[in-house]
Structures are given as structure tokens and as C-alpha cells.
Amino acid sequence: MNPLIQVLIVKIFMSKKKSILKVLNKIVANQTILNWTEDIDGDDFNDALDHINLMRNRNFQQGYNDLELKDKKTVDPKELLPVVAFKSKPYGWLKEYPKNKWINEFKKVYDRDISHILKASENEGINSPIVIDNEIADGIARTKLAYSLGEKLPVAFYRGIK
């Protein structure tokens, strides 16, 4: 028997106060859909540094020469972007659609192509987004995709070095 079904059966019998649907939703929510990796791609790293320096220059602040890794941890995408970035869509909204429609539905809402992200998920894994001094610098589409599928994601947190 499938281990997921075994867990479901045990949880249903152990939880007399919860409905079957609530138990099933809790189990499904703990499953990840995307294949994430904690790797940091060199191009992503350079893009993140360029982005942060561009933003700092707009604010007439000194740019960074390098970055220092502070932490790598798994976080909820809602911690990385403001609520308005998710365009009033509920957490996990994309799971309502079959996987073969995700690219089109995501593009309708966010005007972003995620085909390369889904391809990476099927192959080597999706690289971690990069946050520099509490600002997401690379991986906004990856963060929105994780939100859309109701998943947490690994993130690399850096501190800028002047």
C-alpha cells in the first residue's frame, strides 16, 4: 500500500474531531511539488549583485563589491515579497490547475514565463533565490511560483560588503 495512503488512514482514525478533508489537506500541504536545490548559480549571484547595486545607485548609496553569505534557510515566500506582489491570489492557487496549464496560468497573472523553472525542477533542481540585506535580489519568479504552489523554498541570505 502507498505510504501516503497509510498515513492518511492512520490520521483519519486518530483524529475523530477533524473532518477527512481537513486531514487530507494537511497531508497534501506537507508534500512538495517542485524540486529545489540549495545551490547558488554563479549567474544568479552576479545578477543579484548587479540588481542590488543598481537599486543602491538609484538611492545614491555606495554599491557593493562583494557579498558574504549570512544564512541559508527554508522560508515561506510571503516573507520575501510584499503581499501586493502576489496580485491578490491566494496561497497555493496554482495547484487548482493541471500541471500542463501552469505555465499559461502563471503568465496570465504575473506576465512571467516559468517554463525554464519547471524544466529545472524536473532536472537538476531549482536554484535558491538570493536575498541581500533583506531585499530579494534574484529569484522573484521562483518566489512567486513557490507562493502559487503553496510551498516554502530554500533561500540564500547575504550581507553586502562595500
What is the pLDDT, as a whole number, of residue 81?
Answer: 92
126-152 pLDDT, tens digit per residue, is 999 999 998 999 999 999 999 999 999
29-69 pLDDT, tens digit per residue, is 456 788 888 778 888 888 888 888 888 777 667 777 778 99
- pLDDT class for 27, splitting at 50, 70, 90? very low
Domain boundaries, the chain: 1-31, 32-161
What is the pLDDT, as a whole number, of residue 31?
Answer: 61
The answer to whether residues 161 and 67 touch, using CB atoms and an 8 Å cutoff, is yes
